[in-house]
Amino acid sequence: MSRTSGAVAALAATGLLALSLSACGGATKSSTDKAASSAPAAVQSGSANPNAATKKGLAVAFLPKQVNNPYFNISDAGGNTALSALGESYKEVGTTSATDTAGQVSYVNTLTQQHVSAIAVSAQDPGALCTALKQAMSAGIKVVTYDSDTDPGCRQVFVSQASAEDLGRSEVDLLGKELNYTGQIAVLSAAQTATNQNAWIGYMQDELKKPQFANMKLVKIAYGNDDPQMSFQQTQGLLQQYPDLKGIISPTTVGIKAAAQYLDGSQYKGKVLLTGLGTPNDMRSYVQDGTVKAFELWDPGKLGQLAAYTAVALASGQITGAQGQAFTAGSMGSFTIGAQGVVTLGAPTVFDSSNISQYNF
């Protein structure tokens, strides 16, 4: 209901919204879309030598959007694992609030003064960190963004969790398989104006045009505004308006959780399938009791590992961040830098009853 108020804005401004999910929700927004949008790539200085030896003893600092956030705890632990395997040193610094941009800037400045080898940062704001990060780069520090990007000119490489296209298409594929490619489906999104959501939904609609989805029809896109009560009621509305509805895709962590909780306590449990983007902790009980068969998200641990490997490759001179350069990320294999200096982790991880117990975030 009337949530868009000055009071709410003021609350947000005081930095009290320390939600873990705001981290990865916001992350997806700034990553997938910013990468796709324009703005010139950073001018890359020097040339890369793909055969250069990996340097040992590099100091790599992780600067997440927020420390003590379950999502970033996992991603940074992944970074730590990769760095210790390579013989580098790891540290994590950061603000306790995900909206303390000034605090994040001063952490960048401190790291520049300490002259670390590389910084892996998840930016709270695409523009605010730019001056500080450019200073760091001119001091010879390699800058990698992960999870949430800055403007492309302010870092060397952005490690993206997943592309908008992968996320959109794979959610439709997941639901298609569960429904045997037949029946009416609906989408429960966040706000009608959310760019990341709309980009994903665009790819979903495109995927549905493929011949194998001829018997699947997207009948409605509902918007729950990432509010539990609103998402609940939008789910109820979908089921009442379309009695033959067979499946719902909710590409938002708040939406999928609310829809799952509603289905769980209603007559529709097990009759209407649900998938989308969710976190294993939120969705665990719904997967265990059969309300949800499978959902997806990227693996934050692997994201942190890839950010660490990218930082080390940059600091060792194997890459500079230009398009087309390739590097090896340990057991994860080889990655190639795409347009605008973006490296994509790959297809999202699918969580179901067989693997959900291995994840805790």
Partner 1 sequence: MTAPTTAAAGQQPQPQPPLAAGSARGLLDRVLRMRELAILVVLAVMLVATQIDNTSFLSEQGIKDLLLNATILVLVAVGEAVVVITGNVDLSVGSVLGVTAFAAGDLLKHGGNPVLSVALAVVLGAALGAFNGVLVGVGQVPSLVVTLGTLYIIRALDSIWVGSREITASLLPSGYKTFGHDGVSAVPYLALVAAVVLIAVGYFLRDYRSGRECYALGSHAQAAALAGVPVRRRVLAAFVLCGALAGLAGALYLARFSYADAGTGNGYELTVVSAVVVGGVGFTGGSGSVHGAALGALLLTSINSVLPAIGVSSVWVEAIDGILLLLAISVDRVMALRIAGLLRSRARQARTGTNG
Spatial contact of 229 and 254, defined as CB atoms under 8 Å apart:
no
- C-beta of 212 vs 357, nearer to partner 1: 357
CA distances from 290 to 53, 63, 218, 270 (A): 50, 38, 23, 7
3-state per-residue secondary structure call for 68-95: CCHHHHHHHHHHHHHHHHHCCEEEECCC
Binding site for partner 1 (CB under 8 A): 1-5, 7-8, 10-11, 14, 16-22, 66, 68-70, 96, 192, 220, 222-225, 228-230, 232-234, 236-238, 240-241, 243, 257-258, 260-261, 264-268, 281-282, 284-286, 288
Q: How far is the CB of 314 from partner 1 (least distance, A)?
A: 30
User: Sign of the C-alpha dihedral, residues 357, 269, 173, 255?
Assistant: negative
- C-beta of 174 vs 260, nearer to partner 1: 260
Q: How far is the CB of 236 from partner 1 (least distance, A)?
A: 5
- C-beta of 33 vs 227, nearer to partner 1: 227
- C-beta of 21 vs 137, nearer to partner 1: 21
- C-beta of 69 vs 160, nearer to partner 1: 69
Q: How far is the CB of 280 from partner 1 (least distance, A)?
A: 9
Burial class (CB in 10 A: 0-12, 13-18, 19+), 64: buried
Q: How far is the CB of 43 from partner 1 (least distance, A)?
A: 38
DSSP 277: B
Q: How far is the CB of 260 from partner 1 (least distance, A)?
A: 8
Spatial contact of 127 and 104, defined as CB atoms under 8 Å apart:
no
- C-beta of 153 vs 237, nearer to partner 1: 237
> At CA 296, angle to CA 291 and CA 297, rounded to 5?
135
From CA 165, how far away is CA 30, in angstroms rounded? 15
Name the CA dihedral angle for 332, 327, 310, 132, rounded to a multiple of 10 degrees: -160
Q: How far is the CB of 78 from partner 1 (least distance, A)?
A: 17
